[in-house]
Amino acid sequence: MERFERLAEQVGVLLNAEVEVQGGECLVKRTRAITISSQNKNFNCVLDHDILFKNLKEDGTALNQAEILLLPEELALFTNALQKHPISWPINYQQRVDINPDIVCIYLSSEETPEDFATRLSAAFNVIEQNTLVK
């Protein structure tokens, strides 16, 4: 279990987030403040992103899952950053997107090392955060 906890800590650092280890699962608690503009009104809110890994194998791979909430205008930036990242996606990768008028939810699932999954996600978060600062 010590190996799992060290890995959880490393993933938390990569994603700049708190981690909680419980029963063979690592839940990463990453939040992000955004402003949603709808019907000429602005709403400030904090989004909780659900990121976890579990079922760590001897070879270092695990089942990684993420549920990421984005503004509609951030979706292309986020997915492009994921696709263009130097660490390519593994064969066992799934992505699904639910689109609403004011918020988008992207679901990611892969079987790979948690460090690779977290590194790729962190880079995608950095792209949308840098784009927000430019505006």
> Over the stretch 38-83, which tens digit does the pLDDT of each residue have?
778 887 888 888 999 999 999 999 999 999 999 898 999 999 999 9
* Tokens linked to 102: 């004011």
d(CA 124, CA 129): 9
Q: What is the mean pLDDT of the chain?
A: 90
Domain containing residue 35: 1-133
pTM: 0.89
Structure tokens at 55: 């079922």
pLDDT for the residue 17: 93
Model pLDDT for residues 83-92, shown as the tens digit of each residue? 999 998 898 9
Measured distance CA(14)–CA(8) in Å, rounded: 10
Half-sphere exposure for 101 (CA within 13 Å, toward CB): 3
Domain count, the chain: 1
